Structure 1
Amino acid sequence: MDLAELGALLTREGLALLDTLPPLESSDDVARVVTRLRRDGHSPDLVSAVVGQARLRTRARAKFGDLAERMLFTRAGLEQATRLPIAARHAARFRDAGLSRVADLGCGIGGDALGLAALGLRVVAVDADEVTAGIAAYNLAPFGDDVEVRHGTAEATDLDGVDAVWLDPARRTAGHSETTRTRPEDWSPSLDWVFDLAQRMPAGIKLGPGLDRTLIPDDLEAQWVSADGSTVELVLWSGVLARPGVRRAALVIRGDAAHELTSAQDAADEPARELGAYLHEPDGAVIRARLIGEVARSLQAGMLDEHIAYLTSDEALTSPFVSTFRVREVLPADPKALSKALRDRDIGRLEIKKRGVDLDPAVFRTKLKLRGAGSATLFVTRIGTRRTAILADRV
């Protein structure tokens, strides 16, 4: 979206037209609506803007629920926005720490600022991109004077009267649609600038979950967050926002339930052991936080291989921090022999998981030529130097 499209959209006609459009689920839906709107005499800028927003609102339901129907987006802004339930959890840290005015530096379309403002905090929301700042202003308008939106850079923002900051450095190239990842030294603001500010005032710093762990300062709490099986972010906390004695945390959110594992340091792994009756797949946040050992001990489990993030046990135990599978048997890893074994067992629906092996599950599936009425999960992994296929069922 450019300024011309935003200007066309932010009019009484544009917003009213947008609200009349149905959810656009497919490219065919988009084509039909574009044809109708152009036939009705609407300008190309307005048609492009409202159709683009209707499509983005449909996609945004996964992150913002019903609230998406009154919000505006850019494609890049939606992709990078924090899911609203997660933003609310982050905002609760600021509220519970007794902080009242927060600067959201790099606010994007305003997802995190929404969480802060909804809990009664006053917010200064700043973004360096003019279009994105305009969209954030629209999304945050219902909070009135409690939220101030500024077009500007994090580095130039006056923080006088601000109690704490939320930082989401731009980690991709500029733009509203297709963007590419950049190096930490090229982020805006730079990671060094961000860490310096976090030493001077309480801060929450949203980063990608795959950040090089050697870049994390020792005095910050590092919290990896997963949502419904996907590891979505790493948040670093400083000052009163960091919990005493916590340096590693894995927050696992599944639906409306949330569970957290915390530690003062990386957890030592349990030794490798023979495959048992159960196989456990740790959540990605647990793996990133290096807390697999804590989970293993709670399950009376060991590593399947010392270099592979699978656990195995004989006890019928599970945890919110793993997906648990009951082992059926070990099968040949060769595709031809495995295909025959699966046919003999009448398995036609197969969930394929892999770790520690060079394998494309989609390509591998075609080699198996599946047919049958049954279903199962297949783990293709490495135990020592041996490729192993393990047939299992979800618990």
Structure 2
Amino acid sequence: MANQSSEAAASQLAILLTPQGWDLLNSVDPSAAGTKEAALNLNLSLRKDGHPVELVTAVVQQAQLRSKARTKFGPFADRMVFTPAGLEQATRLKLAGLHAQRFTRAGIKKVADLGCGIGADSLALASAELEVTAVEMDETTAAAATLNLMPWPTATVVNADATTFDLTGFDGVWLDPARRTTDTSGTSRIFDPEAFSPPLSFVESLADRGLAVGVKMGPGLPHDAVPANCEVQWVSINGDVTEAALWFGPLARPGIRRAALIIAAHGATELTSPVDFDPDAALRGDVPVGEIDSYIYEPDGAVIRAGLIDELLKTSGGHLIDPRIAYFSTAEPVETPLAKAYKVLAVRPYHVKNLRAWVKAEKIGVLDIKKRGMDVTPEELRKILLAGTGRDAKNKATLILTRVGDQRYAIEVEPV
């Protein structure tokens, strides 16, 4: 099935690369395919104009991908080509620029982008005036990367196996291993780092050769899978944890073992630690733990993934409410871009019957539910609590569900 999907993508790309196909694709505003209904209307319109069915199908599907790609590539997306799997894994352009900065600051001149996908990171490396060779084993994806990198004369695309590519003459290597499988039903994630293509062990072997190596891993990378000789940086963009990047050799910053970089509208904020992961610090009493106070905070996912709650508590003056839960609390409000803050209005034991009575009494019609440490599905609980509410239920409320020790609580809060 994966081969059939790849063959279909290759066939569509071949159609688009004809003069007629390329002209028609670039005449279409991707916004015209931004929704399923819009895409259907565009399909009908292009067919009505007399274009062949196969060409129309390819153009509409590529326009859909371009529209979706705008969130990662901005206006660049409107002149790029994509495959569904390639877009799914492609690095956001802003983040690819940060990757490129690592190489330029380390004085690296010639980089091999092994497993380049559609070429997002190669684009950023070439824009930083580095000489980059983008290596991609899948022929269709390599063709897409070639088109996307055509404006940059210092970028070259090679259709080859990343694990056997000759690295003679290169002083830097970037990798974004394939972490998804593709079939006719779509794509699905792979979680085992040794099942990635190429595997994490191959990345480590490159670092052992003395090369400056950077690799993009999924944000769910287990701590025990992180090699001992690298810096690991989790990155969050507007609250979405996008990656865990491993940096080896001169690309790793001195004195930093793990980091959390939070990028949002206010700018970028980073939290770092020079020491290795210590999941038992709170259980040993090395991290302050106390009662639920006037304010409660949900740390950014990158901070949680990087195991940097203890460092965040040092800067905020807060305390955990349970040594196993990431929520922390303070008596006075603390402004931090590293966590979402909520004012505590009421703390109640978690009982569904009592919560339904509260929803009815307060005429709540919109309910936001957050949870940690409890086996509860917020969507299902919301339906239960709001079931039977009247038309006058127009108030909004937010609940944080969590446990402290063996007790489960429903904390009524309001966002700060």
TM-score range, shorter chain: over 0.9
Alignment of 1:63-82 (within 5 A): 63-82=72-91
Aligned to 2:113: 104
Which residue type is aligned with residue 400 of structure 2?
F
Conservation of the 8 A alpha-carbon contact between 2:369 and 2:400: yes
- Structure 1 residue aligned with 2:315, among 298, 301, 304? 298
More off after superposition, 178-187 vs 17-26: 178-187
Alignment of 1:127 onto 2:148: no
CA contact (8 A) 2:297 2:329 kept: yes
Residue of structure 1 in register with 2:175 after alignment = 167
Aligned-pair CA distance for 1:333 = 2.1
Deviation at 1:367, TM superposition (A): 1.1
Distance, in Å, in 2 between the alignment partners of 1:45 and 1:211 is 41
* SS of residue in 1 equivalent to 2:233: strand
Is 1:20 equivalent to 2:27 in the alignment? yes
- How much has 1:174 moved relative to structure 2? 4.8
Q: Is the 8 A contact 1:336 1:367 kept in 2?
A: no
Report whether the alignment pairs 1:60 with 2:69.
yes
Q: Take 1:327 and 1:347, find their aligned partners in 2: how far apart are those partners? A: 17
Q: Calculate percent identity across the aligned residue pairs.
A: 46
**Residues matched between the structures, number:** 394
Letter in 2 for 1:382: R
In the alignment, does 2:212 pair up with 1:224?
no
- Indicate whether 1:84 and 2:101 are aligned: no
Aligned-residue offset at 1:323? 0.7
Corresponding residue to 1:242 among 228, 236, 252? 252
The one-letter code sitting in structure 2 at the alignment partner of 1:237 is W
Residues of 1 paired with 2:310 and 2:364: CA distance? 34
Kept in 2: contact 1:278–1:316 (CA 8 A): yes
Q: Secondary structure at the match of 1:327?
A: strand
After superposition, residues 338-353 of structure 1 pair within 5 angstroms as: 338-353=355-370
Deviation at 1:72, TM superposition (A): 0.9
273, 281, 287: which one aligns with 1:263: 273
Quick check: 1:249–1:262 contact (8 Å CA) kept in 2? yes
Report Cα offsets for 1:31-74 as digits up to 9, x if no partner: 22222323333233322211111101111111111111111111
User: Offset at 1:355?
Assistant: 0.7
Q: Give CA deviations for 1:293-326 in whole Å, capped at 9, x if unaligned.
A: 1101211111111111100111221311111111
For normalisation by structure 2, the TM-score amounts to 0.91
Q: Quick one: which of 357, 375, 392 aligns to 2:396?
A: 375
2:155 maps to which of 142, 147, 152:
147
Verify the 8 A CA contact 2:135 2:157 in the aligned structure 1: yes
- How big is the shift at 1:348? 2.6
> How far 1:82 sits from its partner (Å)?
0.8
Q: How far apart are 1:184 and its partner, in Å?
A: 2.7
The answer as to whether partners of 1:222 and 1:237 remain within 8 angstroms in 2 is yes
Unaligned segments of structure 1, at least 5 residues: none
For the pair 1:360 / 2:367, whether they are aligned, the reply is: no
Distance in 2 between residues matched to 1:297 and 1:87, nearest whole Å: 31
Stretches of structure 2 that go unaligned for 5 or more consecutive residues are 1-7
1:3, distance to aligned residue in structure 2 (A): 2.0
